[in-house]
Structure 1
Amino acid sequence: MRELLKIMKERALLELENTNKLEELEQLRIKFLGKKGELTQVLRGMGSLSSEERPIVGQVANEVRVLIENGIEKVKEKLKEESKNIKLNAEILDISMPGTQIEKGHRHPLIGVMEELENIFMSMGFSIVQGPEVETVYNNFDALNSPENHPSRDPSDTFYITDDILLRTHTSPVQIRTMKENKPPLRIVSAGRTFRFDDVDDTHSPMFHQLEGLVVDKNITMANLKHTIDMFIRELFGSQMKTRFRPHYFPFTEPSAEVDVSCLKCMGKGCEACNGTGWSMELLGCGMVHPNVLRNCGIDPEIYSGFAFGLGVDRIAMVKYGINNIRLLFENDMRFLNQF
């Protein structure tokens, strides 16, 4: 059997010398060292040897295995190096040729506006808070003092997942979560996607973006709200901008108002863009936080008061850039996006 191992070793080394491809090398490994290889067959026959011969033959077999394995590894490295050199020699690199220009991306106008809004409010001392887009009915409606017969609760207006779970219709649930988890004073803004059953037209989309703010502290009044909104509008559009507060109704604020801003085209003089009124479209809604909302979040309305406001990021982007169709913000037409 030792003579058989010697012959196998010499034959394996000879075949290794004549191997020129990695595929052939793998076949050679299987032939000699595989589960059904020649060395394995020899080792299976060791059971017929005497107890004196068995360790001697086992040692020789192990030496042959190591020798073949090392030989295979050396040939493999040699073949890989040769293959690499062939590829390098075949490649032609002309360093005088102009390089390929890498086209850089940029912020989507919506994301850019959202970040700009957040930065303005952070400079005013607000903190940025995020929340889930899939919400509970309680956080989205009940805790916000929305009556059970409010139209927004209807399945024709809201995307329900179950009877108790829905896609948030505004970012106000983030305010509820914040008031439940933190004690006043609070000064936060939250921005993100919201969802409503709206027919798509020039100014409406079933998916849109909102940014909402909340301030809760002692002795907060409507004057604080008006001053904050005025500062924000002037910081966003310029110091010459004027605001107009119109009474409105929201179930989660009392009193409530909608805010208009000067027409960006004529700056309040009156033009075709604003139908001669001097005012742009309604920009945001706001009001003093309803006492029931504070109670639902464990805050005593006899001690604390607050104000909240909400605006459509999409609408801000449309006013700022003079975009007349909200569809353009979501169609991913590069001809449109490259303008920004």
Structure 2
Amino acid sequence: MTNLRGKYIEAVAGASSEAALEEVRLAALGKKGEISALMATLGKMDPEARKAAGAAMNLLRDEIDAALRARKAALSDAALDARLRAEWLDVTLPARPRPRGTIHPVSQVMEELTAIFADMGFSVAEGPQVESDWYNFDALNIPPEHPARQEHDTFFMHRDPNDPRPPHVLRTHTSPVQIRAVVDQGVPLRVIAPGRVYRMDMDQTHTPMFHQVEGIAIDRDISMANLKWTLEEFCRAFFEVDKVELRFRASHFPFTEPSAEVDIRYSNVGGQLRIGEGDKWMEILGSGMMHPKVLAAAGVDPNEWQGFAFGVGIDRIAMLKYGIPDLRAFFESDLRWLRHYGFSALDMPDLAGGLSR
């Protein structure tokens, strides 16, 4: 057994690979290995001889097995070291450049609007895009014969013919959100409701889905003067100019009385739009004092409370501020357009640092 021990200890030490080491293991400890064959002779020995020989054989087997395990671990470590040397890289090198996405102009303008109105004490309200007929029309004093309630203007959801309820609609404005906010939060209240709205229209300045922000302020002594100041401050902050001039023109909306469309003074010099100067006027939004029926529908006593409301097309004012000529491009997912008009994700708009940086 001494000869066997020396033979296999030397063979284990001389194995240069895991495959060669496996051959040594099979030759020594495999089913047909020398040490295994030697241990098979124990059954033919008398008890005293078997006891002495068995102890020596077990010791030899364990020693060879330990040598095999140690050599295998050493070979694995050596292979790992060689691989690490071969696959070495400099982790201090700059990373490979990756394309970066940009913030869509609509998302950017929504953030700008939120920052401006938050500074004036308005909170943001959200609501469902699939609305009931009552929230979208009835609560806003829009009569059944109004054109907005016809299929050529509004997307109606399917309703079972046996169901007598009016069909739901894809909201045509974010005014339903304001009604929900008044019902849920009560008055006094100041909220804006930005979001997607849907109407059946499509041309260079209209799309079937677009974005609006509408706002309301309700208190006991709200007046048109408060509305005028709010809109002037908003335009001054949004267009980042020191002076703006707004013109209120009498109009009609079912949900406000009196109602006014608002124009802003501008000039166009060499294709560059300049807000607050010149002799031209551009319509930018609709506004007015909340109709008493709208307040009553929201559970507010119009004899004690009054408020103003306004609505702005987010896509339109984004086009106006950032010189975007075609509204349809907003929704085409053209990466070249997004790279040109998009904004850095790290540049969050705020009033102190400037809205668009």
TM-score by length of 2: 0.67
Q: CA deviation at 1:111?
A: 0.7
Partner residue of 1:49?
none
* Conserved? CA contact 1:260–1:279, under 8 Å: no
Runs of 4+ with >4 A deviation: 77-90, 94-98, 270-274
Q: Residue 221 and residue 100 in structure 1: after superposition, are their counterparts in 2 closer, same or farther (change >3 A)?
A: same
Deviations 1:240-265 (A, max 9, x none): 22111111111000111111112253
Q: CA deviation at 1:279?
A: 3.0
Equivalent residue runs for 1:20-35 within 5 Å: none
Partner residue of 2:249?
246
* Conserved? CA contact 2:211–2:315, under 8 Å: yes
* Conserved? CA contact 1:271–1:278, under 8 Å: no
Q: CA deviation at 1:335?
A: 2.1
Q: 1:192 aligns with which of 169, 190, 195?
A: 195
Q: Residue 138 and residue 94 in structure 1: after superposition, are their counterparts in 2 closer, same or farther (change >3 A)?
A: same
Deviations 1:77-132 (A, max 9, x none): 97998997786455342558653023333321111111101110000111111111
Q: Structure 2: which amino acid aligns with 1:255?
A: P
Q: CA deviation at 1:211?
A: 0.4
Partner residue of 2:174?
171
Equivalent residue runs for 1:107-186 within 5 Å: 107-163=103-159, 164-186=167-189
Corresponding residue pairs, total: 266
Q: Structure 2: which amino acid aligns with 1:154?
A: Q
* Conserved? CA contact 1:113–1:317, under 8 Å: yes
Q: For 2:216 and 2:297, how far apart are their aligned partners in 1?
A: 15
Bigger radius of gyration among the two: 2
> Percent of counterpart pairs with the same letter?
48
Partner residue of 1:331?
332
Deviations 1:125-180 (A, max 9, x none): 11111111111111000100000011111112111113531111110000110111
Q: For 1:331 and 1:273, how far apart are their aligned partners in 2?
A: 25
Q: For 1:304 and 1:282, how far apart are their aligned partners in 2?
A: 29
Deviations 1:260-280 (A, max 9, x none): 1122535xxx98979xx8335
Partner residue of 1:228?
230
Query: Tell me, what secondary structure is at the counterpart of 1:265?
Result: strand
Partner residue of 1:17?
none
Q: Residue 273 and residue 188 in structure 1: after superposition, are their counterparts in 2 closer, same or farther (change >3 A)?
A: closer
Q: CA deviation at 1:215?
A: 0.7
Q: 297-306 or 217-226, which moves further after superposition?
A: 217-226
* Conserved? CA contact 2:177–2:193, under 8 Å: yes
Partner residue of 2:98?
102
Partner residue of 1:14?
none
Deviations 1:30-74 (A, max 9, x none): xxxxxxxxxxxxxxxxxxxxxxxxxxxxxxxxxxxxxxxxxxxx9
Q: For 1:134 and 1:162, how far apart are their aligned partners in 2?
A: 12
Partner residue of 1:288?
289
Partner residue of 1:8?
none
* Conserved? CA contact 2:289–2:308, under 8 Å: yes
Q: For 2:263 and 2:98, how far apart are their aligned partners in 1?
A: 43
Q: Structure 2: which amino acid aligns with 1:236?
A: F
Q: Residue 84 and residue 304 in structure 1: after superposition, are their counterparts in 2 closer, same or farther (change >3 A)?
A: farther
The answer to whether the aligner puts 1:214 opposite 2:193 as a matched pair is no
Q: Residue 196 and residue 94 in structure 1: after superposition, are their counterparts in 2 closer, same or farther (change >3 A)?
A: same
Q: CA deviation at 1:290?
A: 0.5
Query: Tell me, what secondary structure is at the counterpart of 1:338?
Result: helix
Q: Residue 272 and residue 93 in structure 1: after superposition, are their counterparts in 2 closer, same or farther (change >3 A)?
A: closer
Q: For 2:272 and 2:80, how far apart are their aligned partners in 1?
A: 70
Structure 2: 5+ residue stretches without partners:
1-17, 20-68, 160-166, 342-357
* Conserved? CA contact 2:102–2:338, under 8 Å: no
Q: Structure 1: which amino acid aligns with 2:125?
A: V
Q: CA deviation at 1:337?
A: 2.0
Q: Structure 2: which amino acid aligns with 1:215?
A: A
Partner residue of 2:306?
305
Deviations 1:216-256 (A, max 9, x none): 11021111111211111112221222111111111000111
Query: Tell me, what secondary structure is at the counterpart of 1:318?
Result: helix
Q: For 1:272 and 1:101, how far apart are their aligned partners in 2?
A: 35
Q: For 1:302 and 1:286, how far apart are their aligned partners in 2?
A: 21
Query: Tell me, what secondary structure is at the counterpart of 1:101?
Result: coil
Partner residue of 1:59?
none
Q: For 2:300 and 2:92, how far apart are their aligned partners in 1?
A: 71
Q: Residue 175 and residue 89 in structure 1: after superposition, are their counterparts in 2 closer, same or farther (change >3 A)?
A: same
Quote the RMSD (CA, aligned, Å).
3.2
Deviations 1:268-311 (A, max 9, x none): xx98979xx83353111001100000111111101111110000
Q: For 1:328 and 1:146, how far apart are their aligned partners in 2?
A: 32
Query: Tell me, what secondary structure is at the counterpart of 2:101?
Result: coil
